[in-house]
Structure 1
Amino acid sequence: MANRFRRAGGFLAVALLGITLGDCAQQSSFLHPYGQIASQQRTLFLEIIGWMMIVCLPVFILVPWFAWRYRRKNSKTAYDPNWGFNWSLEFLIWGVPFAIVGILAYLIWSWENDLDPYRPIASDKPPLEVQVVGLDWKWLFIYPEQHIATVGVLGLPTDRPVHFTITSDAVMQAFFIPSLGSQIYAMAGMKTQLNLIADHAGTLRGENTQFNGMGFHMQKFSVDAMAKPAFDAWVKTVRDAAPRPLDAGTYAILSQRTTADEAQQRLDMNALPAATLYFSDPEPDLFSKIVSKYRPPYPSSYPKEAMEAGQHKKAEAHQ
């Protein structure tokens, strides 16, 4: 009786775990997509799983079957110690995986162009431009057309493409909204691009998936996908509630190594929702300044002495 209860308890635990993981996947995963890109990624993922089952299922089934059929005490099985080679088995063992690899390669190649993060999404509406800056340990979102900026929350209109231009003002980071798809890296002195679209409204989760220090686990943000009238109202709310513009002085405080909560306190924005900051009138060239501060505009801007020292080292290495 005790064994039955233990088995029932174990089955219940597995079932609850499956429900919990399923709910988590529904809220923040491409398995429950809120956009076109994540939906395509889910389709590709399921196709790959299906083809891989051709390799995995025979292993899961045949290994226990062989272990039972050819066990030591099974006297009914023929004993043939001199058997060593069979063309049919060799073909199955090597031919099937080879074919599966070819099929998977074709699938990934055929989907690659559609899932290119730099590829614009076809739409009759112009894309919304959002500039993203990765900081320690928060994300800054600049809306050049709306003349606002936010931290901790990213507002997006539904059924309209969004073009992200992404960089980092700290170490390398990874920008990811699982329910919309396509993780992409943010690097200092470089600009990466990402095109996404939200098909229907909802509150999603965004995060940094690249470990970058003690505040890494706090570097998450809320993504509010909303219809166009709601998005326009949200933009007005941000502009009206912003206590200060995003000028050089404000950015100098914001870019310090702090979480969104700590930055909120330093900037005296405690009246806003927790871990959320609103700014009005960001400097028009702020994003370009952040990118260019990590690289000289021309190679000739390097000191002459440093260039000569580098050439001398190269010559010594060749010798």
Structure 2
Amino acid sequence: MDSVAIMLAIIVPTIAAILGFAYWYRASNPRAEYRPDWAYSGRVELVVWAIPALTIILLGGVAWIGSHQLDPARPVEGTGPPIRIQVVSLDWKWLFIYPDQRVASVNTLTVPIGSPLQFELTSSSVMNAFFIPQLGSMIYTMNGMVTRLQLRADNEGTYQGLSAHFSGDGFPDMMFDVHVVSQMGFTDWVARAAKSSEAMNAESYVKLARQSVDDAKRTYRLDDPLLFQAVATQHIPAGPGPSLDREAEVSPRSH
């Protein structure tokens, strides 16, 4: 809206000036001064160049301020304690690690309402894109790198998260559920996940990282709180990514 207002401040006077000049310098107006030898006016040059320059400065300022306000890594305020969530995009599933709560989940993300959600994201193989449309701010995941995203959920409910970047045969099914629960409900979920019979560590991660479309939504107790760092720093080797060999042994539907 600010950009539109700034541009209208130029467009509207310009249109008015066109109509005014056309009316004043019409053939039937004897008061219009005819000056065939006129060539230059410093005041006209000042107006002609100053107004566009000011417009560019103002539009640039609006873009600069707005871009920093919408920075995905900019902290957001909340009504609850911040929750740190580490995200790994796999072929073709999502792993969510809660290092402070010592739990993890696959294809399901549970968060408390009102809390600032501090996401750290990486990829196990090819570049992907993490996106929860109802919460906003799509962001890429890349192997060997960590991107950061700050979100907050203001309403309880179940939403749909997805991959927004084509990453191979299993891409269409690379979705995950987002459960926004109360603060007490999140505490209860963490307690249940911590009692899971399945553990998330380097060994189980390597098995999970094998290419497959895994529709199951599982929770784990987190045995290795530094697992995300090992993936992001490539201490755990990256996956092969989608194969161009149509006879490859790995099937997207294998579990």
Q: Which residue does the alignment assign to 1:277?
A: 218
Structure 1 match to 2:189: 234
Q: Which residue of 1 aligns with 2:197?
A: 243
- Cα distance 1:294–1:172, how it changes in 2: closer, same or farther (>3 A)? farther
The answer to whether the 8 A contact 2:90-2:125 is kept is yes
Give, as a single letter, the amino acid of the residue that structure 2 aligns with 1:185: Y
2:160 is matched with: 205
1:215 aligns with 2:166: no
SS at match of 1:175: strand
The CA distance in 2 between the partners of 1:178 and 1:101, in whole Å, is 32
Instruction: Decide which of 69, 73, 80 is 1:114's aligned counterpart.
Output: 69
* Other structure's SS at 1:139 match: strand
Question: Structure 1 residues 98, 179: CA separation in 2 closer, same or farther (over 3 Å shift)?
Answer: farther
2:100 alignment partner AA: E
- Report the 3-state secondary structure (helix = DSSP H, G, I; strand = E; otherwise coil) of the residue aligned with 1:166: strand
Q: Supply the RMSD in Å over aligned alpha carbons.
A: 3.1
Q: Please give the per-residue CA displacement for 1:110-169, whole angstroms capped at 9, x wherever unaligned.
A: 222221111112346441111111100111000111111001110011111010111111
Show CA shifts across 1:57-98 (max 9, x none).
xxxxxxxxxxxxxxxxxxxxxxxxxxxxxxxxxxxxxxxx99
> Aligned match of 1:293 in 220, 234, 252?
234
**2 CA distance for matches of 1:232 and 1:107?**
41
Structure 2 runs not aligned, ≥5 long: 9-51, 238-255
2:118 is the counterpart of 1:163? yes
When residues 101 and 223 of structure 1 are mapped into structure 2, their CA distance, relative to the original with a 3 A threshold, is farther
Change over 3 Å in CA distance of 1:217–1:48 after alignment to 2? farther
Q: Return closer, same or farther for 1:283/1:107 CA change in 2, 3 Å cut-off.
A: same
SS, match of residue 119 in structure 1? coil
Contact 2:230 2:236 in 1 (8 A): no
Partner of 2:107: 152
Q: Kindly indicate whether the alpha-carbon contact (under 8 Å) linking 1:189 and 1:295 is maintained by their aligned counterparts in 2.
A: no
CA contact (8 A) 2:3 2:59 kept: no
Cα distance change, pair 252–48 in 1 and its aligned pair in 2 (3 A): farther
Post-superposition offset of 1:221: 0.6
SS at 1:252 equivalent: helix
Higher strand share: 2
Matched, 1:141 2:82: no
Counterparts of residues 74-113 of structure 1 (less than 5 Å): 105-113=60-68
Shift of the alpha carbon at 1:184? 1.1
In 1: Cα distance, 2:56 partner to 2:91 partner: 41
TM-score by length of 1: 0.55
Q: C-alpha separation between the residues in 2 aligned to 1:231 and 1:204?
A: 16
User: How much does 1:194 deviate?
Assistant: 0.7
Give the drift of 1:104: 5.5
Deviations 1:234-293 (A, max 9, x none): 2223333x33101222111100011123xxxxxxxxxxxxx3111112412111111122
Aligned CA distance change for structure 1 residues 135 and 48 (closer, same or farther; 3 Å): farther
Look up the equivalent residue of 1:249 and give its one-letter code: E
Distance 1:190 1:176 in 2: 18
Q: Select the residue among 179, 185, 194 that pairs with 1:224.
A: 179
Which runs of 5 or more structure 1 residues have no equivalent in the other structure?
1-46, 55-96, 262-274, 297-319
* Cα offset, 1:105, TM superposition: 4.4
- How many Å separate the matches in 2 of 1:230 and 1:135? 28
- Cα pair 2:78 2:152 within 8 Å, conserved: no
TM-score of the aligned structures, taking structure 2 as reference length:
0.68
Percentage of matched positions with identical amino acids:
38
Alpha-carbon distance, 1:101 to partner: 7.5
How many residue pairs match? The answer is 199
Matches of 1:98 and 1:180, distance apart in 2: 37
Contact 1:246-1:283 at 8 Å conserved across structures: yes
